[in-house]
Amino acid sequence: MASTPVIPAATLPRVSGKIIDTVVKVSVDATRPLPLACALYAVENPEGVWLCAYYGANRSVFDYLPLKDAEIDEAKLGIAFLHKVFIPKDQYQTADWEKFKKERFMVYGA
């Protein structure tokens, strides 16, 4: 499989569009004082698909993480994505999302 070109997020506009897939997991560890939330998103807009990762330990945010089918605008979201990858619509494949999930999913004890 050919590698999809990755465009650095710093040179791109903010993430906006509809969440087409998501993985959200909150994990706890007895040796750590706070739980860890990992939220991965595939966000589609007319230009392409954003693959984004949020990690946080702020419990007040956990109940407000966006869900599948939500329309989002990063400027108004209230969370910051640690990792963002934009893939143009004509180059996006489901395998890109699967690879992103394997590389970026993080929980305590994993």
pLDDT at 1 over 50: no
Assign 63 a pLDDT band (cuts: 50, 70, 90).
Answer: confident
Taking only the tens place, the pLDDT of each residue in 71-101 is: 999 989 888 899 999 999 999 999 999 999 9
Taking only the tens place, the pLDDT of each residue in 13-37 is: 789 999 999 999 988 888 888 888 9
**For the chain, domain boundaries:** 9-104
| H or E element, residue 18 | strand 16-27
Phi-psi region at 17: left, alpha or beta (left = phi > 0; alpha = psi -120 to 50): left
User: Tell me, what's the pLDDT at 8?
Assistant: 58
